[in-house]
Amino acid sequence: MESLHPRVRLLWIAQEALAAIALGVGLAAVDRWLVDVPTVALGVVVALGFVLGVAYAVRRYGVWRFEIESDALYLERGVVTFVETAVPFVRVQHVDTQFGPVERVFGLSSVVVYTAGSRNADVRIPGLTPERAERIQDTLRQLATESDATDAV
């Protein structure tokens, strides 16, 4: 089983920090226009949100595993709900690698696997180095093409 790149923790922490700041701004707006919120409470909420976010990010990294098995892509993830998913290669419709602005800062990339299913229809592996993402995309595409010739739906 492979884990994600350790830097993904920083990425997630950055995202959580952004969320905490957004929460702080929301509370400040409430304070300004609706009811008084003591500044201390505001600070405490933001700090708490941030700490929880950091803990969540670290735990999430600890839990995240994936593996390219003989017949399927296998993933394990989830802090609150732990999910183990198997995506058979035959069922892969197409594969993306992508990185957004925040990911670019950290030099990370994600692979997104699309299936025709109704739920879990797109499976994302975050926190990969761009080269690794590229390799996974190539492997998955090859396996998807080789594993079956009849259509997947």
Partner 1 sequence: MNRLHPLSAAAYALQYGFLWLSVASILTLLLGGIFDAIESAWVSLAAPVGLVAGAAYGIAYYYRFEYGITPDTFDVASGVLARRSREIPYERIQNVDVRQGVFQRLLGLAVVSIETAGGGSTEAALNFVSESEATRLQHQIRTRTAEVKDRRRGRGRPDASAADERSPATDEASSDAETERTSAATDPDEPAPDDDGPTAEPDSTDGTTTSDSDPVSDGRDRVAGPDSRGPRREQLFALEARELLLYSFTSFRPAAAAALLGLFFFATDLAIDLLVSAARPFGGPANLGEGSPTSYGILTVVSVVNGVVTAYVLSVVYTFAAYYDFRLGRAGGDFVYERGLLQRYSGSIPVEKVQSVTVTANPLQRLIGYAGLWVETAGYGPESDSGGSQSAVPLADQGRVHRFTETLTGVESPRFRSPPTTALRRYLARYAIVAALVVAAAFAVAQFTPLERWYLAAVVFVAVPPAAYLKYVNLGYYVGEGHLVVRRGFWKRKTTVIPYYRIQTVSTRRTVFQRRLGLASLVVDTASSRSFFWTSPTIYDVDLKDARDVHGTGRKRLQTALRERARADDSGLTIDFT
Partner 2 sequence: MEALHPRIRLFWIAKGAIGAIALGVVLAAVDQWVTDVPTAAIAAVVLLGLGLGIAYAVQLYRVWQYEVQSDALYLERGVLTFVETSVPFVRVQHVDTQFGPIERALGLSSVVVYTAGSRNADVRIPGLTPDRARDLQDTLRKLAVESEADDGV
**Residue whose CB is less far from partner 2, 82 or 119:** 119
Within 10 A of 29 (CB to CB), how many other CB atoms are there? 11
Contact call for residue 119 and partner 1 (CB under 8 A)? yes
Question: In Å, how far are 15, 88, 120, 133, 147 from 153, measured between CA atoms?
Answer: 36, 13, 16, 26, 14
DSSP assigned state of 151: -
Q: Residue 12 corresponds to which tokens in the numbers above?
A: 């997630």
Q: Residue 98 corresponds to which tokens in the numbers above?
A: 């992508």
**Residue whose CB is less far from partner 2, 46 or 140:** 140
| Distance of closest approach, residue 151 Cβ to partner 2, in angstroms | 7
Q: What residues pair up with 78 in beta bridges, in sequence order?
A: none
Contact call for residue 58 and partner 1 (CB under 8 A)? no
* Interface residues toward partner 2, by CB under 8 A: 92-101, 104, 114-116, 121-122, 134, 137-138, 141-142, 144-153
Partner whose binding site includes residue 35, from partner 1, partner 2, none (CB under 5 to 8 Å by kind): none
